[in-house]
Structure 1
Amino acid sequence: MKFSNIIRKAAFAAAFLIGISFAVSAQSDSTKHSPEKRAKAMTDKMKTDLTLSDDQYKQVYDINLKYAQKNQEAAGGEGTRMQKAKALKSGNASKNEELKAVLNNEQFEKYTEAQKEKKANAREALKKRRDNGGK
C-alpha cells in the first residue's frame, strides 16, 4: 500500500511539473510576439472577416503595424497603468480614423461591431475573474 502512495505522489508531482512547464512556455511565447507578427495576424483576420482587397490589405497592415509599435512602446514605457491605458485608448481612436479612410462603409461597420464585441467579451472575462476572487 505504501508503494502505491509513493507512485501516486510521484505521478502527481510529474504531472504538476509538466503543467507548470507548459504554462511558462506559453507565457514566454506570448511575450515574444513582435509588433510585425501582431500586425500581420490582425491584418490576416481582417482580410478574412472584412474581405479586404490586396490594396486595402497593404494599407491596413501598415496602419496595424504603426499602432502595434506605438502600443508596445506605450505598454513598456513610463507611467502608471492608467496613463498607459489612456495612451492605448487614444491610439485606438486615431487608428480607427485611419482605418475609416481605407475601408468602405460596410467594412468599417463590421470592424467597429467586432471591436465592440471584443470589448464586451473582455469586460465579461474581467468580471468573471473578479467574481471568482481573481482566479
Structure 2
Amino acid sequence: MFSEHFKVRFYETDGLAHVSNTVVAGWFECGREPIFKMFTPDLDLQNWPLILASYKIDFHLQIYYGKSVEVRTYVSRVGNSSFDTYQEIWQQDQKVASGTTTLVRFDFESNKSVPIDGTIKSQLEEHLYPQQEA
C-alpha cells in the first residue's frame, strides 16, 4: 500500500460546504504517483508508458475543509498489459471515498497496448489489496 496525506484546501470546497466531487479524482491520481514511478522513475512525460482506460469513484461520506485526508493506494489486479488500482480516501478515521482505476501499458508509436514486464509486475504485486492476496 502507498499512503499520501493531503491538506484540504479552501478552494476545493463547493457551495454545499464540502469538498467538490471533482477533487477526488485528482487526489487519486496524485496517490498513484509511486506506481507511475515503477514504469518511469523520472516521470518523463516524453517517455510516458501508461494510459488511463477507466475509473470509478464511490462517495461514502462527505469530505470537509479543515481536516486532512489520507489517500491509500493498492493494486487490485495485474493482467498482461493492464492493471487496476484500488484507492480509498480517509478523513478522521472514516473511509469517505473509494475508487478503482484501470491503467494500460501503452506504446504511443504503435498505438497499441504492450505487456507489462515481469519486474514491474512483481513490484505491482507487492502492493496488492489485502483481500486479493492468496
How does the TM-score come out when normalised to structure 2? 0.33
Which of the pair has the greater relative contact order for Cα pairs under 8 Å at 6+ separation?
2
How does the TM-score come out when normalised to structure 1? 0.33
Between structures 1 and 2, the one with greater helix share: 1
